[in-house]
Structure 1
Amino acid sequence: MLSLARAGTAALALGLAQPAAAVLVYVTSYSGTLTSLNLTLAAAEANSTTGPKASIQQLAVNKGCAPQASWLTLDKPNGILYCLDESFGNPNGSLSSYKTSWNGTLTQLKRVETPAGPVYATIYGEGGKGLAVAEYQGASFSSYLKDPESLAVVEQVTWTLPHPGANATRQDTPHPHEVILDPTGKFFLVPDLGSDLVRVFLINQTSLTWAPVDPLVTPPGTGPRHASFVIGDKNQTYMYLTSELANTVTGYEVTYNANNTLSFKQIYEAPSHGAGTVVPAAATVAEVVTSPDHRFVIVTTRSDSTFNITNFDPKNSTQLVSDSITTFSVDHSNGNLTLVQLFPSGGQIPRQFSINKAGTLLGVGQQGSGRAVFINRDVQSGKLTGFAGEIDIAGQVTSVVFDE
């Protein structure tokens, strides 16, 4: 009897479809739900150009991360899923831990209050013992013990502004929108939309505490949102920053200094659709993700309404308005980005997306359409090839995460 791997190789040799592959996917929504999906992906036929199709089954809906579930961080080795709740209009948000299972059932272990508006969480520290959280509405940054039974606070800081920024409506106060690790795991980087800064912190790996070092200062009114790193083929470190208010993607070469600080040299800047493009004034760039092979950078733009696509419901002939996903190739010699493709995201306001470890599939949360969309991707060219499947989720979808 053939193993699954050998059976798949034999099927390819005969020009047959490979066995279907299944994966769990988790989706959050501003309706306060945390939904588990089973996504079964049947391999494409040999002559297919759009890629495999997916069968998507809703397994479980959990309402413990409510009222506005905003972000998911998976601790795969320990089978723990962390969920943030923005809790609009309330003085506090929340952080919850869940035990995952093979069948998609999630068991809530602990829920603790956070400062207002948590939007992003990252695992950090020696042995991955800490969880850092950016709290947009609270103008704060916190870290917690990644013990799912305690979630005890390690350290917190709240910032203020002496006066509103260049965009007074959106920059009335600091608004940290993300916290990510640099490639060495030694530094936090926190894009602060309200302060026009990417704040930088040096991490104490054992105590899990952190100390501020010199930040990256961005032009007034640009509104830094998210960032992602690329390691060049000669170990250069490049960072790509999306700035929501300016709707730009900016590239930097990062230098590690002897005094435990970082320096940033700008090497690229263009609108979210690429150099020389004109993006609608209402559009705002959102997520930026590096491909697993570090050859491409992928960016979502909200409210550009660039595409009209065939309705996912075959019985409905009305076309759907879709915002866009931009793919750039990275020149490892200098960090420059080149436009590869502009592709429909499959809905409106693609707030967040994840890419699977193989680099063959994107899961995109369409906040404006209440939909999770899965898009096939060709690893070699970096291009998105077609829609694998989609599923409607009540409310505004805020994050999609693969359990792998």
Structure 2
Amino acid sequence: MAELGRRKFLGAVGAAGIGTIVTARAAGAETAGRGGGVVFVGSYTSSPPAGHGLDVASRSGAALRLERTVPSVPDASWFALSANRSVLYATNELVPDGAVTALSLRAPANPRVLNTQPSKGSAPTHLSVHPSGRYLLTANYGSGSVVVHPIRQDGSLAEVSDLAQHTGAERDAHAHQVVTDPSGRWVLAVDLGADSVYVYRLDLGTGKLTKHEQVVLPSGAGPRHLAFHPGGRVAYVLGELRAEVTVAAWDAARGKLTLGEVVPTVDANAPVPSYPGEIAVSPDGGFVYASNRGEDTIATFAVRDSGRAISRVGNVATGGVWPRHFTLDPSGRWIYVSNQRSGTVNWLPRDPKTGLPGRSQGSLAVPSVATVLFR
């Protein structure tokens, strides 16, 4: 498929040397907020230069340091934690036919593989744990499907209990994300190829999905990910093919997503295409962030009207190239960006009052890096 071919190409572009670290400036380290703890870093092992798969890193101040690579977790492009944070789940995106892996965190700094299960589709790019703790939900980008794996008592994965296949009207379907809404009642899947957000019911007894609604965005929008406002009544849908955020009202009682205003993530004269990568909301709900891979920036949006309106207040360089993913640290004072092409995780201080990130204060080299998760 054309989109899958583009993904493999992008994953193959340059990165930095293994394990090199540039420590944060002293002032940055002093204001890092909550430090320490375990950090998981995922990278592509099948894309040159080959990444490590799953790395465990430690944190001192704001700076990350690689501690060890966990074997047998190839192409780890996304992570999710179990409800009690005792099990880590990872996509194995580029392995033949696609797979997902469960790892015990009984010793958090030394994850142990429990088992790996086929994802029943190609290029699984995203996964999440249902709030019930009973099911793992995975989006297969290559084959455009969403699958459900029951979670056993020890956290390992049983065989797939259901598969929902998407169909694109103008392009092949490419499911890119699957999450549960804040109420826990609905499962939402974002499909880039179908220009749609699917809303499902999940039967907790059988592990079966039932389609409730398909919300179709304008042709060519290419929705990639969505993030909910903490109030639970608004979702922000990030377009990858069109660099924009669509603000959507969310009615949890009816499982109804209503599309609203559309706000660009870049200026009109920005590099084309911009290929936005990730979207997130600050813990206080005051700001929305989106990464732009074309211009290598994080866009910041100020939130108004209880989340129902946003305005872009600035774009800041990520300190690297091709920001596939970013995450806020537990304190909300630092943003960690996975710059895939430069092979660096960069950390940027975040002003909680203005919402704006500052310049990169340091970086950790991880070839073909894809994602970072704080435990």
Of residues 78, 102, 112 in structure 2, which corresponds to 1:71?
A: 78
Asked whether the 8 Å contact 1:125–1:205 carries over to 2, the reply is no
Does 1:249 pair with 2:245? yes
- Higher relative contact order, structure no. (Cα contacts within 8 Å, ≥ 6 residues apart): 2
Q: Aligned AA for 1:87?
A: L
Does 1:269 pair with 2:262? yes
How far apart are the structure 2 equivalents of 1:99 and 1:388?
32
Distance change in 2, residues 1:153/1:292 (3 Å): same
Q: TM-score, normalised by structure 2?
A: 0.84
Does 1:86 pair with 2:77? no
- The alpha carbon displacement at 1:117 in A equals 0.7
Corresponding residue number in structure 2 for 1:47: none
Corresponding residue number in structure 1 for 2:281: 290
SS at 2:327 equivalent: strand
- The alpha carbon displacement at 1:215 in A equals 1.4
Distance change in 2, residues 1:87/1:382 (3 Å): same
Distance change in 2, residues 1:22/1:86 (3 Å): same
Corresponding residue number in structure 2 for 1:3: none
Aligned residues: 337
Q: Show structure 2 runs of 5+ residues with no match.
A: 1-29, 46-51
SS at 2:229 equivalent: strand
SS at 1:70 equivalent: coil
Of residues 219, 224, 234 in structure 2, which corresponds to 1:238?
A: 234
Of residues 345, 358, 367 in structure 2, which corresponds to 1:385?
A: 358
Corresponding residue number in structure 1 for 2:182: 183
How far apart are the structure 1 equivalents of 2:188 and 2:139?
10
How far apart are the structure 2 equivalents of 1:303 and 1:39?
29
Alignment of 1:203-242 (within 5 A): 203-232=202-231, 237-242=233-238
Of residues 21, 27, 33 in structure 1, which corresponds to 2:53?
A: 33
- The alpha carbon displacement at 1:101 in A equals 5.2
- The alpha carbon displacement at 1:206 in A equals 4.3
Render the CA deviation track for 1:74-127: whole Å, top value 9, x for unaligned. 226242111111125x3x11111112255621211101111211010111142x
Corresponding residue number in structure 2 for 1:98: 103
Distance change in 2, residues 1:65/1:187 (3 Å): same
Does 1:129 pair with 2:144? no
Distance change in 2, residues 1:121/1:20 (3 Å): closer
Render the CA deviation track for 1:335-394: whole Å, top value 9, x for unaligned. 111223311112111111111232112221111111111222122321213434311012
Asked whether the 8 Å contact 2:114–2:156 carries over to 1, the reply is yes
How far apart are the structure 2 equivalents of 1:262 and 1:231?
17
Q: CA RMSD in A?
A: 2.2
Name segments (4+ residues, structure 1) moved above 4 Å: 16-20
Q: Show structure 1 runs of 5+ residues with no match.
A: 1-15, 42-53, 166-170, 305-322
Corresponding residue number in structure 2 for 1:316: none
SS at 1:179 equivalent: strand
SS at 2:100 equivalent: strand
SS at 2:98 equivalent: strand
Asked whether the 8 Å contact 2:78–2:127 carries over to 1, the reply is yes
Corresponding residue number in structure 1 for 2:160: 153
Q: TM-score, normalised by structure 1?
A: 0.78
Asked whether the 8 Å contact 2:175–2:191 carries over to 1, the reply is yes
Asked whether the 8 Å contact 1:186–1:205 carries over to 2, the reply is no
- The alpha carbon displacement at 1:151 in A equals 3.1
> Could you say which structure has the larger radius of gyration?
1
Corresponding residue number in structure 1 for 2:35: 21
Q: Aligned AA for 2:334?
A: L
